[in-house]
Each structure stands twice: as structure tokens, then as C-alpha cells.
Structure 1
Amino acid sequence: MIPRVRSPELPQNYTWLNTDKPLYLKELRGRVVILDFWTYCCINCLHVLPDLKYLEQKYKNSLTVIGVHSAKFDNEQEIENIRQAILRYDIEHPVVVDKGFRVWQEYAVRAWPTFIVIDPEGYVIGQVSGEGNRDILDQLIEKLIREHQKKGTINFQEISLTLEKQRQPLITPLAFPGKVLATPEALFIADSGHHRLVMSSLEGEIFHLIGNGKPGLTDGNFSTAQFFAPQGMAFDAVNQILYVADTENHAVRQVDLKRQIVETITGTGEQSRNIHPHGGAGLETPLNSPWDLVKVENSLFIAMAGSHQIWQMDLDSGMISTYAGTGTEGCVDGSLREAVFAQPSGITTNGEELFIADSEISSIRGVGLIEPYQVRTICGSGNLFGFGDVDGQGEEVRLQHCLGLTYANNFLWVADTYNHKIKLVSPKTGNCQTFIGDGCAGLQDGQSKSTRFFEPSGLSVIDSHLYISDTNNHAIMCVDLNTLEVRTLQLPGLCAPDVCIQKNF
């Protein structure tokens, strides 16, 4: 807790989102106000959004939450990118864009996320950082309401807002697709914003929609099953099983294509708070934002973004445990036990080594699957603030919040997400070169480097084609690796769940 001081006023000449006008703290007197200092790349900031939504609903007549977006990465300073993040994560409270960290500094904030609590008389009476503070905030809000009811300084009324999702409804056929997986049988698309999977031919003919499009954790057939912002996938061609990282359910799901049934195989539906290496039976072990998967023989390896670790599940026994990473956030090479990662969000393999898109340190890591089982940094600075857009070798390379990668033909194809580019990395030499994209956010088909993407985050190669999940464009792109021609994949007949007449594919 911090001393009781008058809250500095919020800047009115900055950009505000999710509201048609800036909010003055002095005009919010009579209400409890929580300032949420966040940046949209941060997994911890995303983890607290359900807590804020709970509190906003519980105290909707007496609490106002204001997001203060203080950007870490250069790309996160762009207004349109912040707007897209608000839409992607269904944020329903006002957000002020904290240009130059002015508000951050005025409130002496030191970490993401941080909550500043302001009482109905306009005084700062509390500050708390990190995850897992919902109960603390709940009790404090309740206490403040009681105290100010007695004093007659509380004002019970619901505030009306104009939300970004009202201005820009998600009615596109795909919504923020996170990952894509190309196989000889089908193309699988994680339609993350629509909470479902799309299964099509490599040319875009729809085979199946898996999940009913409503967020939830429900097993069952393709039309009744529910996911919550699914991301990475792995495919077992022999048994016709698709494994899915069901990220916001903190679970891994199994899609049996023969039986057309979805089942949960690990995770409890609750976020794990244990960041220390551990393990247990799959269905009894809580997970922490599994973001991507790769299958090696009969093991499923998981990029566990929330706990900054790599996990392994034995598909025979159903047991799951930490494979590498201490659970702290940073970059430490060495043995599996001493290695440190920073929000690993992409995973692929050549059978001897796992390759990781370690997003918060904007680096590509290697994790040994054979002796001596070492973790190494292939390219990137390995620093939490060492990002940019620089091709080159090893440590001199600069990426910006890379989220996806795939291994093919002895190279790694990397989704350099916040640079809006696809890059090619040699896992042997650490050489990194821009392959596709001119670095400007946009949607533009065409030839190689003249093309444009908007925060691409998933990749998959099959034969001579590279498929790209172009997240903020709500599109899948296809690259002919022989001609370097880039085109937007057409998905005839696909539509958003809320606007689509139910079809039987």
C-alpha cells in the first residue's frame, strides 16, 4: 500500500479508446477507480483481464476500470495496433494510450501489470502489481464502498461507453487467427477470435468447423465442443488426431477426426500459479497459457507461455511435467534445469532439437532432445529490451516479439510478428535474413518483400508452400516458395459464427 495522496489527473490530449471522449478523474468522483497499467504483449497483463472483467461486472454501478497502455515494444505504440489488441482480448473498459510513459511516471509504476486504486474522493489508496490479486482488489473495493456509503460520498450509477467492438464488430470469416498447420490431410486454422478450429483443404475448401464458436471448455462433438482462444496445433497422421493448445482454457485438447470428438487431455481449466518445475497426471495438473505444440514420437512438447517454460506430455501414460525452464523470465542458456525463457510462444523441431520463438526477449532458442540436453540462443539479443529489426548473425540479430516458427528444409521460418515480416534463420549458424514483407503493417499480396502483413503469428510449410496466419488481417496467406508469390487464401463459404447460417460441412 502507498500513502494517501491526490491522484494525478489523466491526460486529455492523449488518444482514448473504448470511449467517445476522454475521462476526467475529477468527473469520476463518487466512484472507485482502478488504473490498470498494461502492455498488450505481456502474458501477465492478459492473465489479469478476466479478474478485471469479474470486478467490473460485480461493481458495475460503483467501479470504473481505466486501462493505461504503456507500451514496451515500438509496435505497441501504434494506435491501430492497440485498438486491435482491445478487440482481440474483448476489453470493455476505457483505455488511454500512455505516450512517452507520462502516466506511468506520474504514478511511479515499475512493472506490468500494476493496479492503482483511487477512492471515491480522488485519493490514491492502494497499489498492487502482478497476477493473482483479484481477491485483494475485491475486498478493498467492497471496503471502500462501505466506508463511502457511510460518508455519503459514493455515487451509484452505471457509466455508458462506446466500445471499439461496437464501432468495429468482428464479423470477418476468421477473427485473429493465431496459428496454422498444413498437413497432407488438411489445413488446420486456429480461428482464435472465434474460439474454434477451421479444417480445410490446402486450397481453402472447408471440410469441418470444430467448435461452436462460443468461448468455453466443453468436450463433445464438433458442433457442441467449445474452446477459448485456441492457438498452436500438432497432428498425429497415423491416428488422425489433432492436438490443440487451448490457451485461455489453460488446457490441451485432442480432436479425434475419425470419431469427430473433442476431448481434454491435460489441464483443469484453471490457470496454474505454480511456476516451479513440477508435473503430474494430465487431467489433474493445471497449466499456464499453453501457446504452441509439437509432437515428437509419443511425446507432446508444449510452449508454456504463462510460466516461461517448455513442458512435455507422455501420450501413453498421460503424465505431464516441466521439460526445461526454471519459471523465471529472462534468457539463460545451459542445462534444461537451469535454462530460463521469456514467454515462449512458438515451437517446432527437427527431431534432435526443439526450436522456440521466445517472444519477450525477441530471440530464437534451441532446446536439446538428445544428450547433452542443452539450451542455446540461436539468434537475438536475449535481452528483455533488446529488440528491433536487424538481419545478421547470432547476437547481432534484432527481432520484435516473434510469436511463431516452423522448421523445413534445414531452415527455420520465423514470424517476426511486431516487425510484420517473415524471416529465415539457419539453426546451425544463427544467420537471420528477411524473407517476405516490407515491415509496414498492411494487407498486400504480391512478390516477396513488397508484400505486407499485420502481426503474423503462425507458420507452416508443406511441400513448396508456406502458410502464414496473418493475425490482425484475419487472414491466411499462402507463399509459393518456388516463385515467391504471396496470395491471400480464399475460404469460400466460411463466415463468423454470429452471422452465419449453420452449415453442415
Structure 2
Amino acid sequence: MKTQRSTTPVRASELTGRAWLNTGDRQLDLEALRGKIVVLDFWSFCCINCLHVLDELRPLEEKYSDVLVTVGVHSPKFEHEADPRALAAAVDRYEITHPVLDDPELKTWDAYTARAWPTLVVLDPEGYIVAHLSGEGHVQGLESLVEELVAEHDAKGTLHRGDGPYVPRPRPEGDLRFPGKSVRLPDGSFMVTDTGHHRLVQLEDDLTTVRRAIGSGTKGWADGPADAARFNEPQGVALLPESVRADLGYDLIVADTVNHRLRGVELSTGAVRTLAGNGVQRLLDDARARGVDPNEVPADAAPTDVALSSPWDVLWSTAADALVIAMAGTHQLFSFDPRTGQLAVLAGTGDEGLRDGAATESWFAQPSGLAQDASGTVWVADSESSALRRVRFDESGAVSRVDSPIGEGLFDFGFRDGAAAQARLQHCLGVAVLPDNSVAIADTYNGAIRRYDPSTEEVSTLTRGLAEPSGVILDDSQDHPVLVVVEANAHRLVRVPVPKDAQTVDEGAAQMQRKRTPIAPGELGLTVRFSAPAGQKLDNRWGDPTQLKVSSSPAEALVEGHGTAQGLTRTLRLADGVSEGVLHITARAAACDGSPDGEIPEHAACHLYQQDWGIPFTVSDDAESELTLELRGLD
């Protein structure tokens, strides 16, 4: 079956931005890419879904290296992401092997009407747009489309085979490369996840002398002895309680982020084993295609048969008597009991955003750092909402409530101390609890360590000028409070004394500076376009396999049309007097392998297509009363 495309081709817009990376200083344009199939990947380096897509595209880029060119169009969400040095570091950190256009003013983003991270736009060898896709999970459809375009343009003589324009950048040298998190070991040394080298490194107390490495340093997945085991961008690491370690035969649990697994490490030998995760990235609602509860983890499932999604940090919770996992990829907290192998959703619906309340009602946005205080309360660095979240437990070890001492939502950030209700962070990745029960925050994109005092509900700044601090722990071996900070972009760990008198900084609050979409007052017709890829059909065995979830900020901006229901069309009604806000829209569609005109085979592979949009809008009388989004649109 051929992919259906419009009979009226649309010319691609020129690629404009500040600079190019991975091209050897060559400035590319569409003419330089003529003759190649081009995938424009609109991304931001803060976005976990964008990082998933980078990995999804790698096999496609390798298989079609002579005909396909991926161009990453970096369209920043946060202010820090517009810093060219930060972008260059991200290109190195994530080992991106295709040209990247720095688009800080969102000119190319606007030219291609991108509305969400990630967005993929496919251009044919003659420079026409042939597909516009949102979200992740499109690789199978992309491969079918590439095969079709290769055949078509080979026959026309418009396909040019050969090397693309990618030129690798020099790699930084050193013992550590973009380290993620660390933990202090019983003998006073520190274990750090050497994320960019895909291994663990044990450092002496001086934070510079390497005692040993665990992992071969080659990206991949393999269990075994220290010199043969393989990781893929490990992030979080936790030391198990002594009583638990004795029963299990290993000491550390590592969040092996891009492998979507938890790994166990025995300190005496360095041996590595896989504890949980099957290596397949968990899309929260892919279970819907199989007619089961997407949030349910079967009680009898082996932990290595369960799909996880970018576990970013891990913490042993005394209140839950289990490991807590910051599951960044599904915007949730999971629990894992290594004694029984039981995995469960601890808090979060899987919706991306900031919503407080009960465990089953709360929303997170890429949780990335965990710490606990003396009472057992777990503190969470919720990176995409630039928020500090607090998770309380009841006597049974279940989550009783989630709240947000700092943070407003997905699009609000800044650098502001003072009253917590008005304080602002910028993409925080780490937390630690100080001796006085206040909370230190690795405020990553502000390059600072901040402090929240629950007793006064005040926020202050402990230190500034750090290069993307990604983790922070308390070093309690000193006479006075000292923090050990993982300074990711400086490729090191540093000690930061906690000053007696913290600074008070106010550089203001900000919102993401994306163009607002004009919409008419009153009724608004919402349509999300989706077409199943070639070789798939919508999975309607259990009813309509599509779904829309809609809400708004502020919540009172919508008087009709909010909530969750099947179908990809909805009529919304704005409240009278609303002038601007944000629409939060999640679209999902389930499709399975099979002929569009036939039955789905019994053991067919099924796929969940999902995208979250946060669309800033402004109300205008002369604007359109229809809003159309592309979950998977073919032009």
C-alpha cells in the first residue's frame, strides 16, 4: 500500500537560524540538501520525548545514510537553551550525528507551523513537504515513507546517493563526561554515573582521583563483570539500606536511562545485573491497544518483562519501604521492591503538567531528582515544570498527597527568590535535604543551587555560576554542611559549602516565548488529524481507538469541552472575558499491523501514537474558530 499524499505539493520553507552545528562551520540551505530525503526534527534539549526521538531515528539514519539526512532544528523552550554554548554541549552530550540548526528565535519553527516538541517534517528530494508528524513512535511509518520516496525519486532521477553534510565535532577528554548523579558510599568514596561515557566511576574523597570504573564505556546493554558490563546514559544511583543489601547480594541500583532499565551493582566485585525493564520504552497507553488498563502493572509480571521509560533517578524510601523511581518518560513516580520484584505506579496519571492532589490525580512533568527528609517525605525536582514537588505518605506507605511548594506550570520559569509562591526555578534536576530539613535544589538551567525552607516558605540562593548542575547530595562527613554537586557541563564533582547567610536574587519570572495562536472567542472546533502508517490500521477491536484529553490554564478559561473522551474532534467553548491562556491537549491513537481493509492478525504488533501540546493562545475577534493539529499528517 502506498502512502497517500496530496496532489498539490507544498514547497519547504528555507532553513533560517543563528548558526549550524555538526557541519564543519558550513552554512546549509535547502539547495545544499536537494536530492536527499530530509527529516526536520524540531527538538529542545530539555524535552525527554525529543531525546526519545533522537534514539528512535538513529537506526533509520544508519540504514539510509546514503539517501537520508536528518536536520535537527533546535527550538528552545527555556531561556538557557538559547545559549549557543549550552546547545553545543547538548549536541555533544547526546552524541548527535546529524546537522543541527540553532533556531533561538523560532523562525524555522514558525515557518513550518510546529506546535509541539518533538515535531518531524519530511521533505522529498525535490524540496517538497510530504509528511508532518508530532510526538514519538513514528519510525515504522517513516521507514515505509522513505522506501516509497527512494523508489519514486530513483525512477525520476532526482535522488542523489552519497555522504551527507554531517561533520563530527571534537569530543572533550577527561575522566568524566557529562556526569549525572552521585551517591556517597560507606567507605567515604563517591560513585558517580559517568553518563557521557556510559559507565559508573568511583571517585576518592577528593572527588578527582578515580579508584575504578564499572562498565566497559561502550554504549549498550550487557550484564556481567565490571569491565564487560554495558550501560546507556545512566543517570540516577541509589545505595540500598544495609539490611536489604545483605539479602539481595548487590548494593547499588542504577537508573540506566536510555536502556529503560534498572541495574544492580555489587560493590565488592563491580558485577552488574538487570533488575527491571525489558529495554522497550514504555508508552503509557500502549496497553490500551491491547484492551487493558494502561496504568496497571500485573502483579505476577516478572520485573524484566515490564517496560519502563527513561528512569532518571532512584531513591530508597523509608516511608514506602521500597525504591522510588523518577520515571521521566511517562511523567510518573514508580515504586520497585527488589525483594519481591514488584513494580507499581506510585503517583502520577502520566499526563504531563503540574497538578497537585492524590496520587491517582497528580500530574508531573519529567521528574528528574529525588531526596527524602527525616519524616520520610520525598522531594522531587520536576524539571519541565521548573517545580519543587513534595510527596507525603500515609502509615501504610502509600502516597497521601502531592503538592508544589515552588512552581506554576509547564511554561513558567525564571530566577526569583523570596516567598515560595512567587519564586521561580529553571529546569531543576536535583534535590537534597539539609540538616535543618530545608531543601537544596540543583537549579540546572540557572546554574545555581537554591534553597527552600519549609518552615518559612522562603526561597534563597546558596551559590551561582555552575555549569548545569544535575545532581546534589549532602556530604555529612564535614564539620559544617557541605554539598557535593555534580556539575554536568564542567564534567566534574565539586564541594559547595552551605553559607550561613544565603543570597536573595530576583532576576524575574518568565514564560516560554512561543508565538501565541490567535483563536476566536466563544466556540472553537478542535481537530487532530491522524492517518495510520502504511501496513497498519486503526485498532477498533475495543471501540474507538482514538482519544482526546483537553484542559486549560487557567482552568476557568474553558467552560465546555474539557476532559477526556474518545475521538479526535471536540467543540470547546471559551469563557467570556478570557483574553489569553494555554490549551493543554493530549491526543492518542492506537493502530496495529495489518491490512487496512482486513482483520488485525491475532498476534499483530500494536502501536500507540501520542502527543501532548501546550498551546499558548490569545483571543481575537478576527481569528479562526477552528484549530487543527497533526498527530500524524501526510501532505
Aligned mate of 2:308, from 287, 295, 306: 287
Deviations 1:176-205 (A, max 9, x none): 001111243221111100111111232234
* Contact preservation (8 Å) 1:195, 1:211: yes
AA aligned to 2:446 is: N
- In structure 2, what is the Cα distance between the partners aligned to 1:148 and 1:179? 48
Q: Which residue of 2 aligns with 1:435?
A: 462
- In structure 2, what is the Cα distance between the partners aligned to 1:320 and 1:211? 26
- In structure 1, what is the Cα distance between the partners aligned to 2:160 and 2:322? 56
Aligned mate of 2:475, from 456, 459, 462: 462
Matches for 1:130-279 after TM superposition, within 5 Å: 130-164=135-169, 168-185=170-187, 186-204=189-207, 205-238=209-242, 239=245, 241-275=251-285, 276-279=294-297
* Contact preservation (8 Å) 2:381, 2:389: yes
Report how far residue 257 of structure 1 moved: 1.3
Q: Kindly tell me: are residues 116 and 331 of structure 1, through their superposed partners in 2, closer, same or farther at Cα, counting changes over 3 Å? A: same
Deviations 1:147-197 (A, max 9, x none): 111222111111243222xxx313211100011112432211111001111
User: Which segments of 5 or more consecutive residues in structure 1 lack a partner in the other structure?
Assistant: 438-451, 485-505
Deviations 1:227-264 (A, max 9, x none): 11111111025126011111011011111113432111
- In structure 1, what is the Cα distance between the partners aligned to 2:454 and 2:97? 42
AA aligned to 2:452 is: V
- In structure 1, what is the Cα distance between the partners aligned to 2:69 and 2:354? 37
Q: Which residue of 1 aligns with 2:576?
A: none
Deviations 1:255-285 (A, max 9, x none): 1113432111111112112254222431111
Q: Kindly tell me: are residues 227 and 219 of structure 1, through their superposed partners in 2, closer, same or farther at Cα, counting changes over 3 Å? A: same
Q: Which residue of 2 aligns with 1:478?
A: 495
Q: Which residue of 2 aligns with 1:342?
A: 365
Q: Percent identity?
A: 40
Report how far residue 355 of structure 1 moved: 0.7
Report how far residue 121 of structure 1 moved: 1.1
- In structure 2, what is the Cα distance between the partners aligned to 1:290 and 1:282? 14
Report how far residue 84 of structure 1 moved: 0.3
Report how far residue 125 of structure 1 moved: 1.1
SS at 2:415 equivalent: coil
- In structure 2, what is the Cα distance between the partners aligned to 1:418 and 1:279? 34
* Contact preservation (8 Å) 1:182, 1:467: no
Q: Kindly tell me: are residues 237 and 203 of structure 1, through their superposed partners in 2, closer, same or farther at Cα, counting changes over 3 Å? A: farther
* Contact preservation (8 Å) 1:116, 1:127: yes
Larger of the two Rg values belongs to structure:
2
Q: Which residue of 1 aligns with 2:29?
A: 24
AA aligned to 2:407 is: G
SS at 1:334 equivalent: coil
* Contact preservation (8 Å) 2:317, 2:376: no
Q: Kindly tell me: are residues 148 and 482 of structure 1, through their superposed partners in 2, closer, same or farther at Cα, counting changes over 3 Å? A: closer
SS at 1:335 equivalent: coil
SS at 2:413 equivalent: coil
Stretch deviating more after TM superposition (202-211 or 92-101)? 202-211
Q: Which residue of 1 aligns with 2:60?
A: 55
Report how far residue 358 of structure 1 moved: 0.3
Aligned mate of 2:392, from 364, 368, 392: 368
AA aligned to 2:238 is: A
- In structure 2, what is the Cα distance between the partners aligned to 1:243 and 1:161? 37
Q: What is the aligned-residue RMSD (CA, Å)?
A: 1.8
* Contact preservation (8 Å) 2:99, 2:165: no
Q: Kindly tell me: are residues 352 and 29 of structure 1, through their superposed partners in 2, closer, same or farther at Cα, counting changes over 3 Å? A: same
Report how far residue 352 of structure 1 moved: 2.5
Aligned length: 466
Q: Which residue of 2 aligns with 1:400?
A: 426
- In structure 1, what is the Cα distance between the partners aligned to 2:42 and 2:455? 40
SS at 1:332 equivalent: coil
- In structure 2, what is the Cα distance between the partners aligned to 1:427 and 1:483? 17
Deviations 1:351-380 (A, max 9, x none): 421110000000000111226710100112
- In structure 1, what is the Cα distance between the partners aligned to 2:77 and 2:297? 33
Aligned mate of 2:412, from 364, 386, 402: 386
Matches for 1:60-75 after TM superposition, within 5 Å: 60-75=65-80
Stretch deviating more after TM superposition (298-307 or 272-281)? 272-281
AA aligned to 1:473 is: A
- In structure 2, what is the Cα distance between the partners aligned to 1:278 and 1:309? 13
- In structure 1, what is the Cα distance between the partners aligned to 2:217 and 2:41? 29
Q: Kindly tell me: are residues 292 and 416 of structure 1, through their superposed partners in 2, closer, same or farther at Cα, counting changes over 3 Å? A: same
AA aligned to 1:314 is: D
Report how far residue 224 of structure 1 moved: 1.0
Report how far residue 482 of structure 1 moved: 6.9
Q: Which residue of 1 aligns with 2:627?
A: none
Aligned mate of 1:34, from 33, 39, 44: 39
* Contact preservation (8 Å) 1:415, 1:458: yes
Q: Which residue of 1 aligns with 2:604?
A: none
- In structure 2, what is the Cα distance between the partners aligned to 1:161 and 1:247? 27
AA aligned to 1:417 is: T
Stretch deviating more after TM superposition (143-152 or 39-48)? 143-152
- In structure 2, what is the Cα distance between the partners aligned to 1:359 and 1:373? 22
Following TM superposition, the consecutive aligned residue runs of length 4 or more in structure 1 with deviations greater than 4 angstroms are: none
Q: Which residue of 2 aligns with 1:102?
A: 107
TM-score, normalising length from structure 2?
Answer: 0.71
Report how far residue 483 of structure 1 moved: 8.4
User: Which segments of 5 or more consecutive residues in structure 2 lack a partner in the other structure?
Assistant: 286-293, 502-635
Q: Which residue of 1 aligns with 2:446?
A: 419
Q: Which residue of 1 aligns with 2:325?
A: 302
SS at 1:347 equivalent: strand
Q: Kindly tell me: are residues 140 and 303 of structure 1, through their superposed partners in 2, closer, same or farther at Cα, counting changes over 3 Å? A: same
Report how far residue 436 of structure 1 moved: 0.7
SS at 2:91 equivalent: helix
SS at 1:248 equivalent: coil
